[in-house]
């Protein structure tokens, strides 16, 4: 990735926005601009200086700004960046605001709501480290240190629910760990943690590959219904926005 080329593209798209009046073309340019800004962020491991320039008034003419579109991304190691593009209708000027919050705050909220939808007492969200191709816990609820240490990282070769879900790239439901041979080596950990059933749902990123995992755990033998998963789906969609 060539920084000079990316910087040139950003400047070119910004100039195009100043003269383009067609709404559809403007949205296309904004999306292209967002992609180039994300490339710069990937090179820097940070966000652009535009994050400091935001105000509710247009920086050029002082007119009122309205939200045009938003994009979001996960910035290494664990920050969530929401980029908002504002438009001034008076001078057709685009103003950009980058807001950074710890991704864990968003993921914890998503996990809490997802657990409530399916009646789970415990749960966790894992993210995939592309280098090692292993899942690591980014948010958790209801678990103590022994469980978190045991499942600190999980790979596709592991036979826990999330490991199998990573390997097969599909949702895995274990109705009762006591009766599942894959869980025999891990029964002590499961009993100490206080769960008998678990489901793991892969979080698929925009590149159509597994980017993370959402798992919910239940005190007794249990199998969530299709309606449970439909209700949980909206929270999974929010997770896509963060990690995709």
72-121: pLDDT as tens digits = 566 555 566 666 777 777 776 677 676 665 666 788 889 999 999 999 99
**Quick one: what percent of the chain has pLDDT higher than 70?**
76
Write the pLDDT tens digit of every residue in 205-237. 767 788 899 999 999 999 999 999 999 988 888
State mean pLDDT over 35-44. Answer: 65
Residue-wise burial string across 23-57, b where 16 or more C-beta atoms lie within 10 A, e elsewhere: eeebeebbeebbebbbbbbeeeebbbeeeeeeeee
Q: Which position has the higher pLDDT, 239 or 144? A: 144
Cβ(227)–Cβ(194) below 8 Å: no
Residue ranges of the domains in the chain? Answer: 3-102, 119-243
Query: Does position 53 have pLDDT exceeding 50, yes or no?
Result: no
Q: Which fold has domain 119-243?
A: Beta-Lactamase (3.30.450)
pLDDT of residue 134: 92
Q: Which of 115-119, 129-133, 179-183 has the lowest mean pLDDT?
A: 129-133
Burial of residue 141 (CB within 10 Å: 0-12, 13-18, 19+) is middle
Query: Does position 166 have pLDDT exceeding 80, yes or no?
Result: yes
Q: How would residue 49 be classed by pLDDT, with cut points 50, 70 and 90? A: very low
Query: Does position 162 have pLDDT exceeding 70, yes or no?
Result: yes
Specify whether the backbone of 111 is left (phi greater than 0), alpha (psi in -120 to 50) or beta: alpha
Cβ(81)–Cβ(99) below 8 Å: yes
Candidates 194, 233, 186, 190; CA nearest to 214 is 233
Q: How would residue 38 be classed by pLDDT, with cut points 50, 70 and 90? A: low
pLDDT of residue 48: 43
Query: Does position 46 have pLDDT exceeding 60, yes or no?
Result: no
Q: In what order do the strands lie in the sheet with 134-141?
A: 153-154, 134-141, 122-129, 210-218, 197-204, 172-174
State mean pLDDT over 16-37. Answer: 75
């Amino acid at each position: 990735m060539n920084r000079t080329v990316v910087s040139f593209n950003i400047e070119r798209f910004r100039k195009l926005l100043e003269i383009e009046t067609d709404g559809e073309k403007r949205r296309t340019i904004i999306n292209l601009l967002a992609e180039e800004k994300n490339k710069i962020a990937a090179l820097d491991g940070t966000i652009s200086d535009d994050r400091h320039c935001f105000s509710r008034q247009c920086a050029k003419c002082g007119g009122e700004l309205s939200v045009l579109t938003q994009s979001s991304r996960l910035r290494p190691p664990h920050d969530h960046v929401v980029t908002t593009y504002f438009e001034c209708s008076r001078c057709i000027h685009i103003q950009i605001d980058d807001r950074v919050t710890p991704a864990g705050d968003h993921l914890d909220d998503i996990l809490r709501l997802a657990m409530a939808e399916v009646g789970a007492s415990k749960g966790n969200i894992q993210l995939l480290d592309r280098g090692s191709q292993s899942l690591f816990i980014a948010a958790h609820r209801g678990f103590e240190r022994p469980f978190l240490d045991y499942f600190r990282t999980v790979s596709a070769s592991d036979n826990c629910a999330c490991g199998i879900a990573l390997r097969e790239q599909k949702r895995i439901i274990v109705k009762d760990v006591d009766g599942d041979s894959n869980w025999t080596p891990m029964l002590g950990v499961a009993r100490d943690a206080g769960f008998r059933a678990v489901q793991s749902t892969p979080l698929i990123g925009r590149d159509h590959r597994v980017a993370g995992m959402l798992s919910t755990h239940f005190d007794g033998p249990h199998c969530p219904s299709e309606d449970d998963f439909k209700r949980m789906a909206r929270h999974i969609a929010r997770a896509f926005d963060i990690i995709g």
